[in-house]
Amino acid sequence: LVAQKADKENVKVFAVGGFIRDLLLNIKNHDLDLVVEPAAIPFAEELNKMLGGRLTSHEKFGTASIVLPEGIHIDLVTSRQEFYARPAALPEVEQSSLKNDLFRRDFTINTLACSLNSPGFGKLIDLFNGIGDLEKGLIRVLYNLSFVEDPLRVLRAIRFEQRFGFRLEETTLSLMENAAQTRVLEKVSKERLHDELVLALQEEKAPEILIRYFTLNIAPMIFPGIRLSDALQERLFAAREMCYWANRNWPDTEVVPGNLYLAALLLEAPFQEARHICRRLRLPQKQREPILAAVEAVPRLKEKLLANALKPSELYRLFSGQPVETLLLLQADSKQSRIWESTALYWEKLRHIQPHISGHDLRELGFKPGPGFQEVLSHIRAARLNGEVKNREEELAMAKK
Ligand code: ATP
C-alpha cells in the first residue's frame, strides 16, 4: 500500500533501519521507518487518508508518524533537502540525500534501506556494509566520533548486542570503552536515558544487558554506587525466572519485569541511595512506589520469615498491602522453600480471605459504629485464616465474645 501510494504521489520512499534489519533476520517488527523525498508530512497525510490511523506531524523537523489500530507504527522522515541544490545530477542526488540520512544512524546493521518505488521496488541499498555485519553478527558504529556525538548509542549498542546475540566489533568496543572512561553518558539528558532504560528493561535479555552495563563500566553513570556482585547477578536471573513463573501461575496478576529487575538491582544499595537513583532515572511515581516498597521490605520480611514458622494470620499481617514485586523479589532473592511457600500461600489464598460477617452484622449485634469495627473484623479474619472459625455462625459467636 505504501509503495503504491508513493508512486501515485510521485515521491521517493525508502523503508529503512530496524524494519529492514529485522526482515533480513526473519524477526517480526511492527515499526516501519520510512525516508521520504522530497517531504514526509504531505505524503504521510495522503497515506493516512487510506490507512485511517492516528497521524502526528512535526513541521519543524519535517517528520510524521502514523499509529494504526493494530499497534503498527509508521515513522516518516524527510530526506535532507540541501542535496536538491544540484538538480543536474539527479540520480546521484537521490543516492546522496539518502546516504546523508543513513550516515546519521547508529550502527551499520541499522543503515539498510529498501526502495519502495517501482521500478526498483524491493531493491536493497547497503551503503555501509550492513549486510556483511548482519551476517557476521557485528555491531559497528559508522564513524569514530559516533559515541561522542550521541552517547546514548552506547546503551543502544549493548541492547542490540544482547538482543541478537551479536558481538561489538573491535574498534566499536574500544570506542565504547573510551566513552565509558570519559563518562560521556553523563551528558545525555535524563529523559533520554530513562526512555532507553525502559526499552532495555523490556528486552528478554534485560538481565544480561544490565550485567553488561557493569562489565563495560557504564553502570556507574546510571546506577551510581551499585556494584555487580555474584548475588546481584543471580538475583537478576532469578527475577526473570520469577516473571515467567508468575505469568504462568498467576495469570490475573500483572507483573512488569522491568520493575523487578530495577528492584533486584537497588536491593544492593542503602535505601536512601535507592530512592535517589529512582529519582535520577526519572521513574514515575507509579513505578517508583512498588520498586521502593519491595527494596525496603524484602530484607525485613526475609529475616522474619526465616526466623520462625509463621501462622497464616501472621503471614497475612506481614504481607498485607505489599505489591506483587515484593513477593517476587523475595522469591528471587532466596531459594529457601519456606519463603517460596509463604509468598505463594499469601498471594494465591490468604489475601482473598475476608470474614463472612460485615459491619452490618456487628451493628445488629449492638456494636457502635467506629474504629472498633475494623479491629473486630480483623480479629475475625485472623481467626478464619488460622482455621479457628469456619463459618458465619462461629464468626458471630466470636464477635459476641
Ligand atoms: P527496535 O527494534 O528497538 O525498535 P530500531 O532500530 O527500529 O529498533 P528505533 O529506536 O525505532 O530502533 O530507531 C529507528 C532507527 O533510527 C534505527 O534503526 C536507527 O537507524 C535510527 N536511530 C535511532 N536512535 C538513534 C541514535 N541515537 N543515533 C542514530 N540513529 C538512531
- Ligand 1 atom at minimum distance from 159 CA: 3
Report CA torsion sign: 368, 372, 374, 379. negative
Q: What are phi and psi of 58, to 5 degrees?
A: -120, 95
Contact 323/290 with Cβ under 8 angstroms? yes
- Ligand 1 atom at minimum distance from 111 CA: 20
For residue 18, the CA-to-ligand 1 centroid distance in Å is 6
Residue located nearest, by CA, to atom 30 of ligand 1: 105
Q: Tell me the Cα Rg of the chain.
A: 28
Q: How many CB atoms lie within 10 A of CB 34?
A: 24
The C-alpha atoms of residue 4 and residue 198 are separated, in whole angstroms, by 36
pLDDT of residue 64: 96
The preferred substitution site among 31, 112, 154 for testing ligand 1, maximizing ligand atoms within 8 Å of CB, is: 31
Q: Map residue 367 onto helix, strand or coil.
A: coil
- 167: enclosing H helix or E strand: strand 167-168
Contact 357/321 with Cβ under 8 angstroms? no
Contact 231/177 with Cβ under 8 angstroms? no
190-202 and 206-215 are packed helices; what angle lies between their axes, rounded to 10 degrees? 130
Contact 199/210 with Cβ under 8 angstroms? no
For residue 278, the CA-to-ligand 1 centroid distance in Å is 26
Tens of pLDDT, residues 141-158 = 999 999 999 999 999 999
Report, as an integer, the average pLDDT of 258-287: 95
- Interior angle at CA 79, CA 74 and CA 80, nearest 5: 145
Residues with CB under 6 A from ligand 1: 17-18, 31, 33, 105-106, 110, 150, 152-153, 156
The C-alpha atoms of residue 67 and residue 37 are separated, in whole angstroms, by 21
285-307 and 257-266 are packed helices; what angle lies between their axes, rounded to 10 degrees? 60
Contact 339/318 with Cβ under 8 angstroms? no
**Which stretches within 57-205 are classed as H helix?**
90-103, 130-136, 146-149, 152-164, 170-181, 190-202
Closest Cα to residue 320, out of 303, 297, 339, 302? 297
Tens of pLDDT, residues 11-68 = 999 999 999 999 999 999 889 999 998 899 999 999 999 999 999 999 988 999 999 9
Where do the DSSP E strands lie in 12-148? 12-16, 31-37, 54-58, 63-67, 73-78, 113-115, 124-125, 138-139
Report, as an integer, the average pLDDT of 95-124: 88
The C-alpha atoms of residue 92 and residue 227 are separated, in whole angstroms, by 52
Residue 82 has pLDDT above 60, yes or no: no
The C-alpha atoms of residue 292 and residue 130 are separated, in whole angstroms, by 42
Closest Cα to residue 235, out of 259, 212, 261? 261
Tens of pLDDT, residues 182-239 = 988 989 999 999 999 999 999 999 999 999 999 999 999 999 999 999 999 999 999 9
The C-alpha atoms of residue 18 and residue 253 are separated, in whole angstroms, by 32
For residue 97, the CA-to-ligand 1 centroid distance in Å is 19
Point out which residues pair with 78 in neighbouring strands: 36
Where residue 80 falls among pLDDT bands split at 50, 70, 90?
Answer: low
ipTM, two decimals, is 0.97
Report CA torsion sign: 187, 189, 194, 196. negative
For residue 12, the CA-to-ligand 1 centroid distance in Å is 21
For residue 187, the CA-to-ligand 1 centroid distance in Å is 19
For residue 305, the CA-to-ligand 1 centroid distance in Å is 46
The preferred substitution site among 79, 98, 105 for testing ligand 1, maximizing ligand atoms within 8 Å of CB, is: 105
The preferred substitution site among 29, 65, 101, 106 for testing ligand 1, maximizing ligand atoms within 8 Å of CB, is: 106
For residue 77, the CA-to-ligand 1 centroid distance in Å is 13
The C-alpha atoms of residue 391 and residue 384 are separated, in whole angstroms, by 8
Q: Are strands 167-168 and 73-78 parallel, antiparallel or unpaired?
A: unpaired
Report, as an integer, the average pLDDT of 359-385: 83
For residue 172, the CA-to-ligand 1 centroid distance in Å is 17
| Residue in this structure with the C-alpha cell 526475609, named with its chain if needed | 302
